[in-house]
Structure 1
Amino acid sequence: MTEEELLEKLEFVQEMKCETRTLELKSAATSCPKRLYDTLSSFSNQDDGGVIIFGVSEEEGYKEVGVYDPHDIQKKINEQCLQMEPKVRPLLTVVMKDGKTFVSAEIPGIDLAERPCHYQGKGRLKSSYIRVGDSDEPMTEYEIYSYEAYRKKYQDDIRVVNRVSFSALNRDLLESYVKELKNGRPNLSQIQDDDIYELMSIRRDGEITLSAALIFSPYPQAYFPQLCITAVVVPGMEMGDTGESGERFVDNQRIEGNISDLLDGAIRFVKKNMGVKTVIDPDTGRREDQPEYPITAVREAVLNALVHRDYSIHTEGQFIQLLMFSNRMEIRNPGGLYGRIRVDQLGKVQPDTRNPVLTSILESLHITENRYSGIPTIRREMARADLPEPEFIDDRGSFLVKLYKGGRPTENKAQFDEFENSLIVFCKTPRTRREICDFLGLSSVTYVIKRHVTPLVKRGLIKLSIPEKPTSPKQLYYSE
């Protein structure tokens, strides 16, 4: 960054009196901090990197203390950066202010294929960090594995399941699959079925694969008890709420079977437990039943969870959750977004595929289209039903879809006015996107800005600190 930008950062710190997801403060009044490894790792492991500013003491109320020696501290910062794997290449900036010297180190985010960045002295499992709010948190073993799985292109959907025999598969369904494969493929039609099983990863070296077990076995839970869907109806808006009789769940079901059974069972559960209202078409006078949730959107959300969940040994003990609250439905699956795609890109760019063989088989059986149309379909169906936009959250090893019915609780007029006012008051001090997100208790920054902040900006109730660059990562939101 330029000297001018560093001075602006220092002013920002004095205004906000806090660190952020991309900003770390170090005192360094007498020496260089000896442990930068955690922050170097966490900043390197996020797309937009981060900035460490030396010369501000958080312990002394964010007092500007300056650094002890600008030349020596740069040398020692570089020394620690060279002990990271892969090596960190910081961009250092020095500036004078009020007779004191300040140093900043911009840490670039490294490519996904090189993550996780870690301190060589402790190894990858003990020194890989991720930034959560303004703190550096150790990565879980699964988070570390997920980077390795992407980098090495592990195919967990075709790992061998020794306990499954070929005779345990549904032969009729298997024959239908092979018939669909051969249809319109004359070259494939010449190959014997046994060879096709190997070629298409139904078997590997004579052993049944996980995808084959999940799709063609009548009861995969005999081998993997937790590869199922747990579905509950909660009598309130949060887990733990109870009904009038003290009941925690209105309905509670464990849905089992192969992937097709899981999908059908989830749809039946939702239909059974959601309300249906009757509306009269003012033009035709006809009565029409309108469900609380569009079934097509629900089907796509459940199918996405089944197709794109993580099937590695790290998550085979975790199930998909379907939770129905009084104001929304949540569908959570193990395994966050795979590869390079971000939440704000869902439905707009072609993603990497975590389970290519599983997806291909389901496409041949006409269970899924495999055209990356699931997210756009969910959005379209919710909009068509005049319901709030769905919320998609990538949350440290899991992926969550939220579908709201009939508007969120805050959309009651009196409640909504109170909600707006609290957000406007909060922004009397300029706030970052993440701070607003944390204030509202939500996870998705994209959703919060689009759903709650942008409408207030359009009405002139909240302003942008950089109006000419609405998407700037340095953007602050404030009210007058």
Structure 2
Amino acid sequence: MLESQNIEWKESWRDEYLKWICGFANAKGGKIIIGKNDNGKIVGVAKAKRLMEDIPNKIQTQLGIICDVDLKNENGKDYIEIDVKPYDVLISYQGKYHYRSGSTKQELKGNALNNFLLKKAGKTWDDVVEPRAKLDDIDISAIKAFKKGAATSKRLPFIAGEENIEQILDNLLLLENGNLKRSAILLFGKNPCRFFINAFVKIGRFGQTDDDLRFQEVIEGNAFQLADKTLEVLDRKFFVSPISYKGLQRVESWEYPYEAIREVILNAIVHRDYMGAPVQISVYDDKLIVWNEGSLPKDLTFEDLKKKHSSRPHNPILASAFFKGGLIEAWGRGTIKIINECKKAGLPEPIIEYSSGGISVTILKNQFSEKNLIEIGLSVRQIKAVEYLKENKSITNKIYQEICEVSKATATRDLTELIEKFKLLERSGEVGAGTSYKLIGS
């Protein structure tokens, strides 16, 4: 038997190990073996028979649970095995709650304790009744917008003819015994921040450094309308829209792919921890970062987000309403959409990572910007070639030789790197003298 997530070895008994037993009981259960060292060798335990009486009594009186405590012997040495079963109710030790996570014991506090209590009760944060909320707190215009989205998406077509607000909320699992849940106020409330102080989005425009805040904006409103309001403010105050002309018609486009930004914001609203900080959007010259407090499910990695994965939202009632209203996709495809939209726009793959107690999504503005080219490791010659391609449709090996003043072999090596290593160029035309190169996506 090896020490693992569910097994702990201790050379001798100490009453503080009741914390470990508490942690196992609150998690998936486990075993504590008394009389075995860190190398897994049986060293034996003194006064084993007395401990066989003391340990079960202490477990029962101080934790309120019963564990199997067995006396065992190997090569003439006694050791004790304590088998802890998982409990459906939350177990405390001296008023504190412990939990076994991986191979470590953690004390549950604050939001972690609240979420764990809800989990033990079979609920999530958004599934809890908000006792202060009344039906008058619901924004009818938000309900109408939801009905339109649900009918258009054909995910809840019958709702178009439903006029009874309580019936609509009940159908969306937003009521419990006639009382509004937290998710109802977040989705359709006139002023969700009155109930949940951080239920808003904060946007900041920064210069070159994080301490260079140029200006900021706070966006409030119910969750069903918050994403569109945020996009409107971003477009009006924070983005510089590139202008082009199609014939005589003026065309304004977004700095970033609209659908990618919208999906990132919707994900942040659905998956965030509403007991924590607000959603924060940081806009820089060369990138945009969307951050929300929260974490991935334990068996999901950031690499998993790049492919089809199981959908386990932090706020499932909220996510279900967003799906039925046509705002988001189910089946864990939101992050794939974000990545694909960025690729279609010729941008680098978004960076999704843990940051400051939450999850951040960074979308880089232009993979062909000089700053980005330097950061990913292009040489001065290769940057010069990319700059040439920004103004010209294509480049050949011969042109590369001329503008960079290098041999054919060096030009070939540099261009191959730009294709295979940096994935910035693609070949065009027949291989050989007729080969030309262009920027990917151009």
Please classify the TM superposition score into its range, dividing by the shorter chain length.
Answer: 0.5 to 0.7
1: CA distance, partners of 2:233 / 2:328: 20
State the partner residue of 1:369. Answer: 329
Q: Find the residue that maps to 1:343 and give its secondary structure.
A: coil
Q: Find the residue that maps to 2:204 and give its secondary structure.
A: strand
Question: What pairs up with 1:61-72 in 2 under 5 angstroms?
Answer: 69=44
State the partner residue of 1:257. Answer: 221
Contact 2:7–2:30 (Cα < 8 Å) also in 1: no
State the partner residue of 2:354. Answer: 393
State the shift of 1:392 in Å: 3.8
Contact 1:40–1:88 (Cα < 8 Å) also in 2: no
State the partner residue of 2:203. Answer: 231
Contact 2:193–2:220 (Cα < 8 Å) also in 1: yes
Change (3 A) 1:393 1:191: same
State the shift of 1:197 in Å: 3.5
Change (3 A) 1:180 1:294: closer
The answer on 1:305 being equivalent to 2:268 is yes
Question: What pairs up with 1:123-138 in 2 under 5 angstroms?
Answer: 123=95, 126-129=96-99, 136-138=105-107
Which deviations, in whole Å up to 9, do the C-alpha atoms of 1:217-264 show, x marking residues without a partner? 444334444211122244456xxx434xxxxx1232211122244213
2: CA distance, partners of 1:95 / 1:276: 76
One-letter amino acid matched to 2:259 = T
Change (3 A) 1:390 1:166: same
1: CA distance, partners of 2:142 / 2:162: 19
Q: Find the residue that maps to 1:35 and give its secondary structure.
A: helix
Give the alignment partner of residue 145 of structure 1, picking from 114, 120, 125. 114
Which deviations, in whole Å up to 9, do the C-alpha atoms of 1:171-210 show, x marking residues without a partner? 3442454566679779878876256245325655555544
Give the alignment partner of residue 214 of structure 1, picking from 186, 200, 204. 186
Which deviations, in whole Å up to 9, do the C-alpha atoms of 1:256-312 show, x marking residues without a partner? 122244213433455554678899xxxxxxx99783x5443332222112122344x
State the partner residue of 2:392. Answer: none
Contact 2:72–2:80 (Cα < 8 Å) also in 1: yes
Q: Find the residue that maps to 1:127 and give its secondary structure.
A: strand
Q: Find the residue that maps to 1:242 and give its secondary structure.
A: coil
Which deviations, in whole Å up to 9, do the C-alpha atoms of 1:373-431 show, x marking residues without a partner? 21222233345545245324398xx64123252569964469xxxxxxxxxxxxxxxxx
What percent identity do the matched residue pairs reach? 18
1: CA distance, partners of 2:32 / 2:260: 41
State the shift of 1:331 in Å: 3.1
State the partner residue of 1:343. Answer: 301
Question: What pairs up with 1:398-413 in 2 under 5 angstroms?
Answer: 399-403=358-362, 405=364, 406=367, 411-412=376-377
Give the alignment partner of residue 199 of structure 1, picking from 153, 170, 174. 170
2: CA distance, partners of 1:323 / 1:50: 47
1: CA distance, partners of 2:288 / 2:133: 35
State the partner residue of 2:16. Answer: 35
The answer on 1:122 being equivalent to 2:94 is yes
Query: Which ranges of structure 1 fall in alignment gaps of 5 or more residues?
Result: 10-20, 57-63, 244-248, 280-286, 415-480
Q: Find the residue that maps to 2:114 and give its secondary structure.
A: helix
Which deviations, in whole Å up to 9, do the C-alpha atoms of 1:336-364 show, x marking residues without a partner? 446x6533554644334443443333334
Change (3 A) 1:170 1:65: closer
1: CA distance, partners of 2:98 / 2:149: 46
The answer on 1:355 being equivalent to 2:315 is yes
Q: Find the residue that maps to 2:193 and give its secondary structure.
A: helix
Contact 2:9–2:40 (Cα < 8 Å) also in 1: no
2: CA distance, partners of 1:174 / 1:166: 12
Q: Find the residue that maps to 2:16 and give its secondary structure.
A: coil
Q: Find the residue that maps to 2:354 and give its secondary structure.
A: strand
TM-score by length of structure 1 reads: 0.54
1: CA distance, partners of 2:19 / 2:351: 35
Change (3 A) 1:138 1:356: closer
Contact 2:27–2:101 (Cα < 8 Å) also in 1: yes
Tell which structure's C-alpha radius of gyration is larger.
Answer: 2
Contact 1:227–1:319 (Cα < 8 Å) also in 2: yes
One-letter amino acid matched to 2:325 = L
2: CA distance, partners of 1:33 / 1:192: 65
2: CA distance, partners of 1:65 / 1:210: 49
Contact 1:255–1:262 (Cα < 8 Å) also in 2: yes
Q: Find the residue that maps to 2:122 and give its secondary structure.
A: coil
Which deviations, in whole Å up to 9, do the C-alpha atoms of 1:54-76 show, x marking residues without a partner? 546xxxxxxx8987525867996
2: CA distance, partners of 1:299 / 1:76: 61
Which deviations, in whole Å up to 9, do the C-alpha atoms of 1:31-57 show, x marking residues without a partner? 44442344555577778989999546x
2: CA distance, partners of 1:197 / 1:211: 13
Contact 1:157–1:211 (Cα < 8 Å) also in 2: yes
Contact 2:71–2:78 (Cα < 8 Å) also in 1: no
State the partner residue of 1:266. Answer: 230
Change (3 A) 1:177 1:55: closer
Which deviations, in whole Å up to 9, do the C-alpha atoms of 1:116-138 show, x marking residues without a partner? 6x5x5425xx0314659x97442
2: CA distance, partners of 1:333 / 1:412: 31
Contact 1:277–1:290 (Cα < 8 Å) also in 2: yes
